[in-house]
Amino acid sequence: MGLTDGVDAPAAVVRRQYLASAAGDLEALRATLAPDVEWTEMAGFPLAGTYRTPAGVTAGVMERLGAEWREWTAHDDHYVVDGENVVVLARYTAVNKATDSPIDVRVAHHFVVRGGLIVRFEQFVDTALVRDAMGPAGTGKVRDASSSEVTATVGA
For the cut 60, the answer to whether the pLDDT of residue 96 exceeds it is yes
For the cut 90, the answer to whether the pLDDT of residue 33 exceeds it is yes
Q: pLDDT category, 3, cuts 50, 70, 90?
A: low
Sequence-distant (≥ 6) Cβ neighbours of residue 84 within 8 angstroms: 10, 112, 113, 114
Over residues 120-148, mean pLDDT: 70
- The whole-number pLDDT of residue 8 equals 87
Q: pLDDT category, 137, cuts 50, 70, 90?
A: low
For 10-153, CATH number out of 3.10.450.50, 3.30.360.10, 3.40.50.880, 1.10.287.110 equals: 3.10.450.50
- The whole-number pLDDT of residue 1 equals 41
Nearest to 72, CA basis, from 111, 7, 23, 109: 23
- The whole-number pLDDT of residue 47 equals 93
Q: Domain boundaries in the chain?
A: 10-153
CA 153 to chain centre: 16
For the cut 80, the answer to whether the pLDDT of residue 147 exceeds it is no
d(CA 146, CA 13): 34
Gap between the terminal Cα atoms of the chain: 34
For 59-80, the pLDDT digits (tens) are 999 999 999 999 999 999 999 9
In three-state secondary structure terms, 60 is helix
- The whole-number pLDDT of residue 35 equals 98
pTM score: 0.82
- Please answer whether residues 26 and 58 qualify as being in contact, where contact means their C-beta atoms are separated by less than 8 angstroms: yes
